[in-house]
Amino acid sequence: MVARFSSLGIPHHRFPPFSPVGPSPHQQQSSSWDFSPILMAPASSHRGHQWICDLVRGSCLLLLLVVSNLLLCQGVEDYAPYCKNQPGNCRIPLQSLFERATLVASNNYRLAREMFNEFNKQFGEGKNFTSKVINSCHTEFMTTPNNKEAAANTEDEALLRLVISLLHSWDEPLHQAVTELLHRNGASPDILARAKEIEDKTKVLLEGVEMIQKRVHPGEKKNEPYPVWSEKSSLTADDEDVRQTAFYRMFHCLHRDSSKISTYINLLKCRFTPC
């Protein structure tokens, strides 16, 4: 497993209870970050075939666009192993790691936004959820850049540690949310499907970012604590108002943190690879 990380390298305020970083009970063990390039047949060198290439060029570009969108929907684990059948010590190119990480982070943010909007549409009418969840995220006390400009001025070591800490902090709440939605009568199938996909892809993303961190900062070995989520009793409460408020808070906070994670990974990608 990849090296863990030390302190964030940015000022801290008082934190709620923390747990040390390590493989969580719900974290996948198999790697989803070995990918194979899509092999294309070599173009014909015969001049007589040039008109064929001109004819199908537009269709090929359209096909590539369709394939790209399918990969975005399916997730990175659907790629074939990058290092399969390659001799020697094969390493995934850093640019490929970043491309997959930005893809998954962007998709997670989209899903989190859709899930939050869907929940608010179904259960938020006439309820003052917003006033109950202001400044109440379990990651609230993590010191993060206030905006994209501040993030751009944050050292890459600190951003990587911050992304890893945020991803770890969502492992348990996402698992509990999916478990509760599975066993709760009347739960929205769309919300459940999105929550499950985010849970799975967050594990994939964590593994990928840890691989990136090991590649660009191989000396990082200390564990970094992460905020502990403590809303299980509210999420499973018999009181419907308490339970719905807990779900609203979770989806609101996940939407916020998914946006941060996606922004930070995109900034890091532009520092280490061509944008």
> At residue 39, what is the residue type?
L
Per the domain annotation, does 23 fall within a domain?
Answer: no
Per the domain annotation, does 198 fall within a domain?
Answer: yes
Cα angle 266-137-254, degrees, rounded to a multiple of 5: 45
Domain extent, residue 193, equals 94-272
In the numeric block, which tokens belong to residue 235?
A: 């999420």
3-state secondary structure of 18: strand
Report the alpha-carbon distance of residue 86 to residue 53 in Å, rounded.
31
Predicted local distance difference test score (pLDDT) of residue 275: 83
Predicted local distance difference test score (pLDDT) of residue 150: 95
User: To 10 degrees, the CA torsion angle through 206, 211, 216, 219?
Assistant: 100
Cβ atoms of 10 and 142 closer than 8 Å: no
CA 93 to chain centre: 20
Per the domain annotation, does 265 fall within a domain?
Answer: yes
Phi-psi region of 15 (alpha: psi -120 to 50; beta: other; left: phi over 0): beta
3-state secondary structure of 226: strand
DSSP state of 27: -
Cβ atoms of 72 and 103 closer than 8 Å: yes
Report the alpha-carbon distance of residue 79 to residue 151 in Å, rounded.
31
Report the alpha-carbon distance of residue 204 to residue 200 in Å, rounded.
7
> At residue 63, what is the residue type?
L
Predicted local distance difference test score (pLDDT) of residue 26: 56
Q: In the chain, count of helices (H) and strands (E)?
A: 9, 2
Cβ atoms of 25 and 176 closer than 8 Å: no
Per the domain annotation, does 84 fall within a domain?
Answer: no
Phi, psi of 139 (to 5 degrees): -100, 10
Predicted local distance difference test score (pLDDT) of residue 99: 96
Report the alpha-carbon distance of residue 163 to residue 167 in Å, rounded.
6
Cα angle 254-258-260, degrees, rounded to a multiple of 5: 120
User: In tens digits, what is the pLDDT along the chain, a chain of 275 residues?
Assistant: 433 333 333 344 333 444 445 555 555 444 566 543 333 334 444 444 443 344 344 444 444 444 444 444 444 343 345 555 555 566 789 999 999 999 999 999 999 999 999 998 988 877 778 777 877 899 998 999 989 999 999 999 999 999 999 999 999 999 999 999 998 887 899 999 999 999 999 999 999 999 999 999 888 766 568 889 999 999 999 999 999 999 999 999 999 999 999 999 999 999 999 98
Q: What share of the chain is helix, strand, coil (3-state, %, to 5)?
A: 60, 0, 40
Per the domain annotation, does 226 fall within a domain?
Answer: yes
Per the domain annotation, does 128 fall within a domain?
Answer: yes
Per the domain annotation, does 22 fall within a domain?
Answer: no
The CATH number of whichever domain residue 176 belongs to comes to 1.20.1250.10
Number of domain units in the chain? 1
Cα(first)–Cα(last) distance of the chain, in Å? 28
Per the domain annotation, does 17 fall within a domain?
Answer: no
Cβ atoms of 264 and 155 closer than 8 Å: no
